[in-house]
Amino acid sequence: MVYMEHINKSFGTLKVIEDFSYTFNQGEFVCICGPSGIGKTTILQLIAGLQQPDAGMVQCASRNIGYVFQEPRLIPWCNVVENIEMGLFHIIPEDPPERRRRAAEMARRVGLDGFQDYYPAQLSGGMKQRVSLARAFAVEPDILLLDEPFSSLNIELRDAMCNYLQQLLALKPCTSVMVTHTLEDAVRLADRLLYLRDRPCRIALEYTWDRPSGQRDMSYIYQQMQAISEKIDLNCDGGRET
Amino acid sequence: MTASIIQGISDRRYYILGIMLILAGWQALAWASHPLIVASPGSTFGSIFEMLTSGELTKNLLITLQRQLTGLALGVLTGTVLGIFGGLRKSLDSMFQPGINAILATPSVIFVVIAMVWFGQGSTQVIFVTALLVMPIMYLNSAKGIQSIDSNLLQMVQVYRVPNRIKVLKVYLPGLLYGFMAGFSLSVASSLRITIMAELLGAQNGIGNAIFIARGYLETSKLFAWALLLVLMVMLIEAIVFNPLQRFISRWQE
């Protein structure tokens, strides 16, 4: 569970977030959509503690956070296992073999078996992002933050990454917040969608689905995408709708 | 793989061709001028052999190397330590910059003269000047190495609460290493040049002093012999130390 209460956040004179309150429910997958620069990433960074609010409070039930950044953020001179291991140092500080074993196991789970000794420069874009995903899940997170994790991938890789993400979430359910520009990803993965608008940002639309994420076929996804797009257009100047 | 081997052989061939061209040009120049102005490759190699058999080469080489390595070590140590602080804190970097710029902007011969006033002629003066002039090179490169560490990586280690010890080992030190290596390879060659210049002006022995004496007696072939030996020394250091080290630290870039 993550509570954000009356958050204000400015960068210089730019007021990005003002009096923003929202509760991310335990175990729920929430997607945040909205125009570029609206403050979506700032919300993730506030939850992760990478930014401090100017006012208000962010409260997380746990500090065990997995973060998949927009770019994989792998250490170039560390191989796949060593990169995944970075998340495990504070969880398993005293047992390096166990840490290695768990990192190698995570590499295997995201289909990187046989690539454990590879350096990031030797991997494709999709593989690097899978390492980043494995690193996030290696910590067995209670809160998973994803910042446009598929934005640099083509459609096929995106599909594969969505599948890996769903498989990992099935093994380790957690409260997940994903920032995305792609409605399709949101409809496919999320339990709830928040559409942000304006500056300082406000929630223009909050949307939930009548089918769980595992039971949404392509026709349902496209139908829902259309419905959401219409609602977003309608709600441009309106209030929050659920 | 095969293509890169063929490319390697072909590169090597051109490298050797380059050396042959220098030797040919040198010989042509020697033929065209007086032996006191340009010593021929033959007489230069003869002088090297002569200095080797008389023990002059080994004696001066050891003295110079000792001074160079001491000065280099001191300069590298102070420059790197200050560079780490300057790289980590912008305010410290701003504070160190005037001093660094002053050292870099001053002709090095002035430091030799000042050091001769302070320490007299001899090893202390040479070591002091070498360390002083190596220090800014190491400072700038180390600070740049630290500053160029990807801030995204620092954010990542913050999210995953990576312990400080691991942060230093896995992020800061490797980041520093690239700046350090660039600075160190520059410093090794520079320190040899500086040591010899300081010896030439203010020491009673060492290669610099030997060059000074050779010039005084118009022993041009000896002058050329020392010049050639110094070039070979720098090339040797590159081949046996830097290239393997560079290959080792850049293995993840392949």
What chain B holds in terms of domains, given with CATH numbers, is: 45-253 (1.10.3720.10)
> Residue A20: which domain range?
1-62+176-242
Q: Is the pLDDT of residue B252 over 70?
A: no
Cβ of A135 under 8 Å from any chain B Cβ? yes
Tell me the C-alpha distance between B204 and A88, whole Å. 60
Q: Which residues touch B174 (CB under 8 Å, ≥6 apart)?
A: A75, A77
The tokens of B6 are what?
């063929």
Of the pLDDT bands very low, low, confident and very high (cuts 50, 70, 90), residue A203 is confident
Residue of A nearest to B174 (CA): A77
Instruction: Kindly state the DSSP code that residue A73 receives in the 8-state scheme.
Output: -
Q: What is the pLDDT of residues A164-183, one digit of tens each?
A: 999 899 888 899 999 998 88
**Amino acid, res. B13:** R
Q: Taking Cα atoms as reference points, which of A52, A67, A58 lies closest to residue B159?
A: A67
In a domain, A76, yes or no: no
Strands (E), chain A: 2-11, 14-24, 29-33, 55-60, 65-68, 143-147, 175-179, 192-197, 202-208
Cβ of A89 under 8 Å from any chain B Cβ? yes
pLDDT of A242 reads 43
Q: What is the pLDDT of residues B34-49, one digit of tens each?
A: 888 999 999 999 999 9
B170 contacts A75? CB cut-off 8 A: yes
Average pLDDT, chain B: 90
In a domain, A108, yes or no: no
The tokens of A98 are what?
């166990």
Is B177 within 8 Å of B249 (Cβ atoms)? yes
Q: Is the pLDDT of residue A239 over 70?
A: no
pLDDT of B159 reads 92
pLDDT of B6 reads 64
Cβ of B168 under 8 Å from any chain A Cβ? no
pLDDT of A241 reads 46
Find how far residue A29's CA is from the centre of its chain: 9
pLDDT of B72 reads 95
Q: What is the pLDDT of residues B20-79, one digit of tens each?
A: 999 999 999 999 998 889 999 999 999 999 999 999 999 999 999 999 999 999 999 999
Please state the rounded mean pLDDT for residues A135-142.
93
Q: Is the pLDDT of residue B149 over 60?
A: yes
Average pLDDT, chain A: 87
In a domain, A150, yes or no: no
In a domain, A104, yes or no: no
CATH number of A32's domain: 3.40.50.300
Q: Is the pLDDT of residue B243 over 60?
A: yes
A139 contacts B171? CB cut-off 8 A: no
B156 contacts A69? CB cut-off 8 A: yes
Distance from CA of A83 to the nearest CA of B (A): 10
pLDDT of B253 reads 62
Per-window interface: A 172-191 vs B, CB < 8 A: none
User: Which segment, A6-15, A135-144, B2-11, is predicted with the most confidence on average?
Assistant: A135-144
Give the count of Cβ contacts less than 8 A between chain A and B. Answer: 61
pLDDT of A197 reads 85
B162 contacts A90? CB cut-off 8 A: yes
A contacts of B249 (beta carbons < 8 Å): 77
Tell me the C-alpha distance between A130 and A72, whole Å. 8
Q: Taking Cα atoms as reference points, which of B170, B173, B161 lies closest to residue A89?
A: B161
Give the three-state DSSP class for A200.
Answer: coil
In a domain, A145, yes or no: no
In a domain, A137, yes or no: no
Residue of A nearest to B156 (CA): A73
In a domain, A124, yes or no: no
Residue of B nearest to A45 (CA): B159
Candidate from A130-134, A217-221, B119-123 with smallest mean pLDDT: A217-221
Per-window interface: B 43-102 vs A, CB < 8 A: none
Q: What is the pLDDT of residues B192-203, one digit of tens each?
A: 999 999 999 988
Of the pLDDT bands very low, low, confident and very high (cuts 50, 70, 90), residue B236 is confident
In a domain, A160, yes or no: no
Of the pLDDT bands very low, low, confident and very high (cuts 50, 70, 90), residue A218 is confident
pTM (predicted TM-score)? 0.77
Q: Is the pLDDT of residue A74 over 90?
A: yes
The tokens of A220 are what?
């349902």
The number of distinct structural domains making up chain A is 1
Q: Is the pLDDT of residue A144 over 90?
A: yes
